[in-house]
Structure 1
Amino acid sequence: MLHDKIMQLKKEKDAVILAHNYQLPEVQDVADYVGDSLGLSRQAAKTPHKTILFCGVHFMAETAAIICPDKKVLIPDLAAGCSLADSINVDQLRDWKQQHPGAITVGYVNTSAEVKSELDYCCTSSNAVNVVKAIPKDKDVLFLPDMFLGSYVAKMTGRKNMYIWAGECHVHAGIRSEDIHKLLDSNPNSELLVHPECSCTSQIMYDVAVGDYKNRQVQIMSTEGMMNYAKQSTGQNFVVATETGILYRMQQQNPEKNFIPASRGAICQYMKMITLDKVYSSLMEEKYEVRVPKQTADKARLAIDRMLAIN
């Protein structure tokens, strides 16, 4: 059985398998740790194993390679990219910085290593608000690349001097407020969990503020925040607005609760490119290694270390 062969290979190769919440269920099942970008970065930073097999998308494996220059970092499929990370390149960022001299640049972890090397701070959805709060109020902030997360952070921090790049994740951009309302109407006792990358986040915040959700619980949080909330809540039914891969782990951890995707079409084809066969081949042949040039990695590490230091 492939699952058992992978478990054996992990020991032989002294490898740890890290998997994102959006990975296929069978890939999550062979992972030593499943989580969001921040949690995966923290696990990579402290692993004693000599090889990290990263089941996620390319920028995540790059981040692990930057944090752990002494480790071998593998990704089972080099083509596993990210539409959000592709929405800005390093030349575009340099041009943007030139237009705003003295501004502090904050970049979502969903960016290439080259882009990270031009940042002052890296962040994830779980600590983006706190990262921006840590910046002096009189400093302009350039936030990239996700416009929906950026809009959410601007609202939560009350910043008026924040400029936001017009990038988006194609999966989260397709989750619409009106679809969520219909689902909640047909599941009246459900709580709503929303990822701040969703295009509907600002509308939902407005709807909550004007009372459209009445007394219903609405939580806007990272995927790991959703996981923790679902475990702790006394609620039984949840509408979940993010990529559908998270539902597998949610259901595993809370078998007595019900989880409904806000959009059944919210599937990231890049996350689903990694299969159990590819995980096995990657471990067996020690392919494909992700390397970041030392000069780029050294510059990017500063922004990532700042991210890891802020809860």
Structure 2
Amino acid sequence: MLELIKEIEKLKKEKNAVILAHNYQPAEIQDLADYIGDSLGLSFEASKTEATLIFFCGVLFMAETASIISPNKKVVIPELEAGSSLSSKINLEQLREWKSNHPDSVVVSYVNTSAEVKSESDYCVTSSNAVKIVQSISKGEKILFLPDKFLGRYIEAATGRKMEIWNGSCHVHEKIGDIIFAKAQNLHPNTKFLIHPECGCSSSCLMKANIYFDCSNIHISSREEMINFVKNSNSNEFVIATEVGIIHRLKKIKPEAKIFPLSEKAVCEYMKMISLEKLRNALRDEVQEIRVPEETAVKAKLPIERMLALSD
């Protein structure tokens, strides 16, 4: 493995390339990345990096987003089969039909969608800015939110804004399932619980707080908010409800902390498809470039730019 790591580092330096990795990537990929983050952070980094060659260690829709906002840069993904169960829950034809049944609606798409779906959307959002962006839309507008029903319900609970919500979900967060927080808190007393909004339990926490369980130690957080919370917290024990890959990054930030997954089953098989060998091959051969068709890219860029502008 050491020789492979040295080869990757050598190729990266020779080609003046940058490696971007999502929080859910395998630990060895994260350790080689120039930047690790969530979808929003990776989008910002792709737009501002001076490197013209980007190796995107994540899933396909993320590489598409990087290509859309940085059309003059070459974006390569080490594994073309690294898809997303959530982005596959709605396609272009389904969105167009949904829009036709709800004319004059504002379409708000989670960034976990294909470039084609983004091209038919008015806004893109991530878990860290979805509430802010929905609040920025005039209250007189009808909103279609897609594709994650749990994030949509969380936004409704957080904003008091009723939306039409697509019936999709992420298979990773579905694996976590319904949580009996009273039982979980008994197992981990005095522990901070960090819950991603894609988990069904996130909206339950907002709506049932102080009724069925003590919500004082439960925090609904995007992935980057989880990172900052752990970094700045006086606590040294955390339970994380999202994909388990983020725990590697959290432990590097606070080595002395005890960090537990709420569910050991919360593993994204797609995120784990990228290996050191595949990254080395991508760097060496520069194949599997992601290039979104120009017409689609132009239309998809507007909702992405709105997302970035409202995230400052």
Question: Is the pair's TM-score, using the shorter chain for normalization, greater than 0.5?
Answer: yes
Q: Distance in 1 between matches of 2:243 and 2:179?
A: 17
TM alignment of 1:220-239, pairs within 5 A? 220-239=220-239
Change (3 A) 1:183 1:291: same
Counterpart amino acid of residue 30 in structure 2: Q
Counterpart amino acid of residue 185 in structure 2: L
CA RMSD of aligned residues (A): 1.1
TM alignment of 1:65-80, pairs within 5 A? 65-80=67-82
Q: Does 1:167 align with 2:163?
A: no
C-alpha distance after superposition, 1:50-98 (max 9, x if no partner): 1110000000000000000001000000000000000000000001111
Counterpart amino acid of residue 15 in structure 1: A
In the other structure, the counterpart of 2:202 is 201
Counterpart amino acid of residue 105 in structure 1: V
C-alpha distance after superposition, 1:86-137 (max 9, x if no partner): 0000000001111111110000000000000000000100000011011000
What percentage of residue pairs aligned between the two structures are identical? 53
Q: Distance in 2 between matches of 1:72 and 1:32?
A: 16
Q: Does 1:7 align with 2:9?
A: yes
Change (3 A) 1:180 1:30: farther
In the other structure, the counterpart of 1:114 is 116
C-alpha distance after superposition, 1:270-297 (max 9, x if no partner): 0000011100000000021011000000
4+ residue runs over 4 A deviation = none
Q: Does 1:182 align with 2:190?
A: no
TM alignment of 1:19-38, pairs within 5 A? 19-38=21-40
Are 2:157 and 2:207, in contact at CA under 8 Å, matched by a contact in 1?
A: no
My pick for the range that moved more, 205-214 or 22-31, is: 205-214
Q: Distance in 2 between matches of 1:280 and 1:148?
A: 37
Are 1:242 and 1:266, in contact at CA under 8 Å, matched by a contact in 2?
A: yes
- TM-score after normalising by structure 2: 0.97
Tell me by how many angstroms 1:175 deviates.
Answer: 1.3
How many residue pairs were aligned?
A: 309
Tell me by how many angstroms 1:208 deviates.
Answer: 2.0
In the other structure, the counterpart of 1:103 is 105
Q: Distance in 2 between matches of 1:193 and 1:209?
A: 17
- TM-score after normalising by structure 1: 0.97
Tell me by how many angstroms 1:309 deviates.
Answer: 0.6
Match of 2:127 among 125, 128, 147: 125
Q: Distance in 1 between matches of 2:50 and 2:231?
A: 29
Tell me by how many angstroms 1:237 deviates.
Answer: 0.7
Structure 2 unaligned residues grouped into runs of 5+: none
In the other structure, the counterpart of 1:284 is 284
Q: Distance in 1 between matches of 2:104 and 2:44?
A: 30
Q: Distance in 1 between matches of 2:6 and 2:125?
A: 36
Tell me by how many angstroms 1:181 deviates.
Answer: 4.1
Tell me by how many angstroms 1:217 deviates.
Answer: 1.7
In the other structure, the counterpart of 2:153 is 151
C-alpha distance after superposition, 1:132-189 (max 9, x if no partner): 01100000000000000000011111112x1000000001012134365433211112
